[in-house]
């Protein structure tokens, strides 16, 4: 239901997350290290929101980037911050559970 409401009120284009993940993007979990250690999608790297500024170089040469967190709030912030720094090939997947469904 939430996804339906989000698509109604969001100006962002709706993306097929399964299709994006099939392209083997750079998977970035922006939760804290403690949250990350409790479980994360296969292949994900942990770059917490509060360390994003010092980690921008890790994003520069990536063809496709998928960001996610616990609920989608932090990943939305990260997508905006990356865009403000000229990194626009970013998909906000919302929660890490969304990504884990397709990555194993």
Which residues have C-beta within 8 Å of that of residue 74, sequence separation ≥ 6?
Answer: 30, 31, 49
pLDDT band at 15 (very low <50, low <70, confident <90, very high): confident
Domain span at 14: 2-103
Domain count, the chain: 1
pTM of the model: 0.85
Backbone angles phi, psi at 8, to 5 degrees: -70, -40
Cβ pair 93, 43 in contact under 8 A: no
**Cα 25–Cα 95–Cα 38 angle in degrees, nearest 5:** 95
Task: Answer yes or no: 69 catalytic.
Answer: yes
- State mean pLDDT over 30-36: 98
For the domain that residue 81 is a member of, what is the CATH number?
3.40.250.10
Q: Which of 27, 44, 69, 78 is catalytic?
A: 69
- State mean pLDDT over 20-48: 96
Three-state SS string over the chain comes to CHHHHHHHHCCCCCCCHHHHHHCCCEEEECCCHHHHHCCCCCCCEECCHHHCHHHHHHCCCCCCEEEEECCCHHHHHHHHHHHHCCCCCEEEEEEHHHHHHHHC
Minimum mean pLDDT range among 6-15, 26-35, 74-83, 89-98: 6-15
């Amino acid at each position: 239901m939430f996804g339906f409401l989000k698509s109604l009120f969001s100006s962002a284009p709706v993306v097929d997350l399964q299709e994006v993940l099939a392209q083997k993007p750079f998977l970035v979990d922006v939760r804290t290290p403690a949250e990350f250690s409790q479980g994360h999608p296969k292949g994900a790297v942990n770059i917490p929101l509060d360390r994003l500024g010092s980690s921008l170089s890790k994003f520069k040469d990536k063809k496709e980037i998928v960001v996610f967190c616990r609920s989608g709030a932090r990943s939305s912030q990260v997508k905006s911050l990356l865009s403000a720094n000229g990194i626009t090939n970013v998909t906000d997947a919302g929660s890490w559970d969304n990504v884990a469904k397709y990555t194993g």
